[in-house]
C-alpha cells in the first residue's frame, strides 16, 4: 500500500511541475519583446479543432462563426506583422448560449 501511495504522490508532483513549466514557458514567450506567438497559435489551432469536432452537422452557423473568429491564416499573418490583438481574439469566439444539441 505504501509504495503505491509514493508512486501516486510522485506522479502528482511530476504532473504539477510539468503543468507549471508549460504555462510559465508560454507566459514567457508571450511576454517577450517582440512576443513569440508560435506556441500560442498552435494551441489556438488545437482549441479550434476541438470546438469544431464537438459540433453536429446542423450547427453550420456556429461552425461558420468559429471559422471566422479563429481564422488561423489571418491570426498568423497578424502575429508575423506585430498586429495581433490578443484581447480581441478570445472575445470574438461565439458564445454557445442557446446551443441546442
At 100 the pLDDT is 47
Instruction: Calculate the CA 31 to chain-centre distance.
Output: 17
* Alpha-carbon span 36 to 30, nearest angstrom: 6
Query: Once rounded to an integer, what is the mean pLDDT over residues 40-49?
Result: 96
pLDDT tens digits, one per residue of 79-92: 999 998 766 655 55
Model confidence, pTM? 0.72
At 44 the pLDDT is 94
DSSP state of 33: S
Please calculate the CA angle 90-96-100 and round it to the nearest 5 degrees: 160
Amino acid at each position: 500500500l505504501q509504495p503505491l501511495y509514493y508512486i501516486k504522490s510522485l506522479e502528482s508532483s511530476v504532473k504539477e511541475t510539468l503543468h507549471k513549466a508549460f504555462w510559465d514557458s508560454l507566459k514567457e514567450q508571450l511576454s517577450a519583446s517582440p512576443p513569440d506567438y508560435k506556441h500560442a497559435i498552435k494551441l489556438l489551432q488545437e482549441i479550434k479543432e476541438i470546438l469544431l469536432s464537438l459540433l453536429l452537422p446542423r450547427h453550420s452557423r456556429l461552425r461558420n462563426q468559429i471559422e471566422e473568429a479563429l481564422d488561423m491564416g489571418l491570426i498568423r499573418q497578424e502575429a508575423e506583422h506585430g498586429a495581433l490583438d490578443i484581447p480581441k481574439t478570445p472575445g470574438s469566439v461565439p458564445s454557445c448560449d442557446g446551443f441546442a444539441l
